[in-house]
Amino acid sequence: MSDDTGRTVGPAEGKLGVLLVGLGAVATTFIAGVENVRRGRALAIGSLSQLATIRLGKRTDQRTPLIKEFVPLADLNDLVFAAWDPIPDDAYVAAQKAGVLDATHLEPIAPFLKTIQPMPAVFDQNYVKRLQGTNVKRGKTKRDLAEQLREDIRRFKAESGAARLVLVWCASTEVFIQPGPAHQTLQAFERAMEQNDPAIAPSMLYAWASLMEDVPFANGAPNLTVDTPALVALAEQRSVPIGGKDFKTGQTMMKTVLAPAIKARMLGLAGWYSTNILGNRDGEVLDDPESFKTKEESKLGVLEYILQPAAHPELYGNVYHKVRINYYPPRGDNKEGWDNIDIFGWLGYPMQIKVDFLCRDSILAAPIVLDLALFFDLAQRAGLAGVQEWLSFYFKSPQVAAGLYPEHDLFIQQTKLKNTLRWLMGEAQITHLGVEYYEYGEQ
């Protein structure tokens, strides 16, 4: 049953090249995971594109295909990979150092992982203070560096034989940058690149290069990157999908499940204290106050939008929200996130909720990288240009059109994603109204 004509979606023929900025814990866990899955050695747990179903039509219709059977997505066997990193380790060494996957998932695919050698990165320590790298590009201006990235993209496409490309930022979190004049128009942005303006961070050069090569760009870190009027305009001009920011994995995913529940029941919130310990390289980078500030902004935003304190000052007008990330090397990638939530109910009586999430950062992030790569490729084949708000589901700070506030509630985001897939394929939207199943709903 269709109430929409749908879009024309090009087929997913040929190889899909996945370009990753950063070959660290998340990127190697993603690549090694895909290789294990396609060899039949593991399951793509956590990935909607591989495991989720989608209901079509009425509940009585019994139509619930897998998403990957409903929309034309690239097959995992068609994925090829490349990455940039200032650290010269190949994907095998990088995965070993990251310490996320054990030998059972790394040794059988070691020869494959060793073939993925990072291309020299555009890297500047001013933007990631706690990192040093030798595998870096040299250039007189930021524009020269960005042009070198464009050449890398073209070379990878030619050498891999990829029919299409997508790019996902899986690199370290850069220092906090406020949008300024250099980010307002494409002309100002390109001038700033030529003048080596500090407002242009390395991640913005990757984004510009990607868009100039008509390659969709997804940002897995909280950096400003592609979330500027200049680069949104470029994406629209060249009809390329973009999105970000910051993979929504552990603590914030739980926050965007619990906060809507509190709000839905009109319970009050006095405070929400979130703290983490983690000991991977990401944790080390975030130990720098300037990179932490970028992450903090991303993590803090969600409650305000979900709770709408202006509409409910008596319930949410005075919330104390604190987020801490503590670098603690013994834990490696196995983060522990604690939340203490002070709520109040009927007549103002206080209650508490405690969450202790012993998660694995990159195990949660890897399937998100996979889904983003496949859905951004789908978006491009469907002719969806510019900001892909329907993929907010995957981000802590979803990028949205100018003048819109982001939707943070995980289940609204999931509905948005699935309804977009239905819309693309000309299927009816599911509203959950359901009167058609009852006599009073009949006309």
Q: How far is the CB of 366 from ligand NAD (least distance, A)?
A: 8
- Residue 190's alpha-carbon distances to 138, 159, 185, 244, in angstroms, are 19, 29, 9, 22
Segment interacting with ligand NAD, rule: CB under 6 A, options 37-45, 121-129, 301-309, 369-377: 121-129
Segment interacting with ligand NAD, rule: CB under 6 A, options 244-252, 260-268, 414-422, 425-433: 244-252
Instruction: Note whether 371 binds ligand NAD by CB under 6 A.
Output: no
Which residue from 280, 46, 27 is spatially nearest to 168, judged by alpha carbons?
27
Query: What contacts 118, CB < 8 A, 6 or more positions away?
Result: 23, 83, 84, 85, 87, 88, 89, 90, 94, 135
- Residue 240's alpha-carbon distances to 143, 164, 182, 231, 232, in angstroms, are 20, 12, 21, 11, 9
Instruction: Note whether 22 binds ligand NAD by CB under 6 A.
Output: yes
19, 26, 106, 302: residue in contact with ligand NAD (rule CB under 6 A): 26
Q: Which is nearer to ligand NAD, 122 or 378 (CB)?
A: 122
19, 23, 34, 113: residue in contact with ligand NAD (rule CB under 6 A): 23
Rounded Cα–Cα distance for residues 117 and 105 (Å): 19
How, if at all, do strands 217-219 and 241-243 pair?
Answer: parallel
Instruction: Note whether 131 binds ligand NAD by CB under 6 A.
Output: yes
Residue 278 near residue 292, CB atoms below 8 Å: no
Q: Which is nearer to ligand NAD, 252 or 343 (CB)?
A: 252
133, 139, 198, 271: residue in contact with ligand NAD (rule CB under 6 A): 133
Q: How far is the CB of 111 from ligand NAD (least distance, A)?
A: 21
Segment interacting with ligand NAD, rule: CB under 6 A, options 2-10, 42-50, 79-87, 402-410: 79-87
CA 228 to chain centre: 17
- Residue 39's alpha-carbon distances to 87, 112, 442, in angstroms, are 28, 12, 51
Instruction: Note whether 306 binds ligand NAD by CB under 6 A.
Output: no
Beta strands (DSSP E) in 62-134 are: 79-84
Q: E strand or H helix at 353, and its extent?
A: strand 350-358
Q: How far is the CB of 330 from ligand NAD (least distance, A)?
A: 16
Instruction: Note whether 374 binds ligand NAD by CB under 6 A.
Output: no
Query: Under rule CB under 6 A, how many of the chain's residues touch ligand NAD?
Result: 37
Q: How far is the CB of 299 from ligand NAD (least distance, A)?
A: 10
Which residue from 93, 100, 128 is spatially nearest to 114, judged by alpha carbons?
93
Q: Which is nearer to ligand NAD, 24 or 386 (CB)?
A: 24
Q: Which is nearer to ligand NAD, 47 or 173 (CB)?
A: 173
Instruction: Note whether 337 binds ligand NAD by CB under 6 A.
Output: no
